[in-house]
Amino acid sequence: MEVVSNISLKAYNTFGIESTARHFVEVSSVEELQELLRLQEWKNTPKLILGGGSNLLFTAQYDGLIIKMNIRGIELVEENDEFIWVKVGAGENWHEFVMHCIEQGWGGVENLSLIPGTVGAAPMQNIGAYGVEIKDVFASLEAVKIDTVQRQTFSGEECQFGYRESVFKTIYKGQYIIASVTFRLSKHPEINTSYGAIEEVLTERLGEVGVKSASIREVSDAVIHIRQSKLPDPQEIGNAGSFFKNPVVPREQFETLQQQFDKVPGYPVSKNEVKVPAGWLIEQAGWKGKRFGNVGVHDRQALVLVNLGGAQGEEVKKLAYDIQQSVEEKFGILIQPEVNII
Ligand SMILES: Cc1cc2nc3c(=O)[nH]c(=O)nc-3n(C[C@H](O)[C@H](O)[C@H](O)COP(=O)(O)OP(=O)(O)OC[C@H]3O[C@@H](n4cnc5c(N)ncnc54)[C@H](O)[C@@H]3O)c2cc1C
Of 332, 51, 79, which Cα lies nearest the Cα of 185?
79
What's the rounded mean pLDDT across residues 275-280? 96
143 in any annotated domain: yes
Task: Give, using CA atoms, the residue closest to atom 52 of ligand 1.
Answer: 241
Q: Is 159's pLDDT higher than 90? A: yes
282: confidence class by pLDDT, cuts 50, 70, 90? very high
Q: Is 307's pLDDT higher than 80? A: yes
What's the rounded mean pLDDT across residues 205-232? 92
287 in any annotated domain: yes
What's the rounded mean pLDDT across residues 108-134? 97
Q: Which of 69, 86, 120 marks a domain boundary?
A: 69
Q: Is 138's pLDDT higher than 80? A: yes
180: confidence class by pLDDT, cuts 50, 70, 90? very high
Query: Ligand 1 centroid vs 338 CA: distance in angstroms?
Result: 10
**CATH number of the domain encompassing residue 33:** 3.30.43.10
Q: In the chain, how many domains are there?
A: 3
Q: What is the DSSP letter of 117?
A: S
210 in any annotated domain: no
330 in any annotated domain: yes
Considering the domain architecture, whether residues 256 and 170 belong to the same structural domain is answered as no
Q: Is 44's pLDDT higher than 80? A: yes
pLDDT tens, position by position, 182-207: 999 999 999 999 887 899 999 999 98
54 CB near ligand 1 (under 6 Å): yes
What pLDDT shows up at residue 211? 87
Portion of the chain with pLDDT greater than 70, in percent: 100
What's the rounded mean pLDDT across residues 61-89? 97
Q: Which domain holds residue 335?
A: 238-341
Q: Is 338 a catalytic residue?
A: yes
Considering the domain architecture, whether residues 176 and 91 belong to the same structural domain is answered as yes
249 CB near ligand 1 (under 6 Å): no
Considering the domain architecture, whether residues 93 and 143 belong to the same structural domain is answered as yes
40 in any annotated domain: yes
Of 316, 238, 338, which Cα lies nearest the Cα of 11?
238
Of 63-77, 160-174, 205-219, 325-339, the least confident: 205-219
Catalytic residue among 19, 54, 140, 242: 242
pLDDT tens, position by position, 231-256: 999 999 999 999 999 999 999 999 99
Q: Is 72 a catalytic residue?
A: no
Q: Is 22 a catalytic residue?
A: no
192 in any annotated domain: no
Of 76, 97, 89, which Cα lies nearest the Cα of 32?
89
Model confidence, pTM: 0.95
Beta strands in the chain (DSSP E): 4-8, 20-27, 47-50, 56-57, 62-69, 74-79, 83-89, 128-129, 132-133, 138-145, 151-155, 176-186, 238-242, 248-250, 267-270, 273-275, 291-292, 295-297, 304-307, 340-341
What pLDDT shows up at residue 314? 97
Considering the domain architecture, whether residues 102 and 62 belong to the same structural domain is answered as no
3-class SS letters over 240-307: EEECECCCEEEHHHHHHHHHHCCCCCCEEEECCEEECCHHHHHHHCCCCCCEECCEEECCCCCCEEEE
226 in any annotated domain: no
Catalytic residue among 19, 110, 142, 164: 164
φ, ψ (nearest 5 deg) of residue 141: -140, 155
**CATH number of the domain encompassing residue 93:** 3.30.465.10
Q: Is 219's pLDDT higher than 80? A: yes
Considering the domain architecture, whether residues 80 and 181 belong to the same structural domain is answered as yes
Average pLDDT of the chain, as a whole number? 96
CA 173, 160, 338 angle in degrees (round to 5)?
A: 55
Considering the domain architecture, whether residues 298 and 323 belong to the same structural domain is answered as yes
65, 97, 150, 181, 299 from 177: Cα distances, Å = 14, 20, 11, 11, 36
Query: Ligand 1 centroid vs 117 CA: distance in angstroms?
Result: 5
Of 270, 232, 235, 243, which Cα lies nearest the Cα of 254?
270
**CATH number of the domain encompassing residue 298:** 3.90.78.10
Q: Identity (one letter) of the amino acid at 131?
A: G
43 in any annotated domain: yes
Distance, in Å, from the CA atom of 318 to the CA atom of 243, rounded to the nearest integer, reads 13
- 188 Cβ contact partners less than 8 Å away, ≥ 6 residues apart: 82, 107
Q: Is 220's pLDDT higher than 90? A: yes
What's the rounded mean pLDDT across residues 49-59? 97
209: confidence class by pLDDT, cuts 50, 70, 90? confident
Q: Are 317 and 341 in contact (CB under 8 A)?
A: yes
282 CB near ligand 1 (under 6 Å): no
Number of helices and strands in the chain (H, E)? 8, 20
Considering the domain architecture, whether residues 115 and 29 belong to the same structural domain is answered as no
What's the rounded mean pLDDT across residues 324-330? 97
Task: Give, using CA atoms, the residue closest to atom 47 of ligand 1.
Answer: 49
Q: Is 262's pLDDT higher than 90? A: no
> How many alpha carbons lie under 13 Å from residue 261 in its C-beta half-sphere?
15
Q: Which of 37, 52, 69 marks a domain boundary?
A: 69
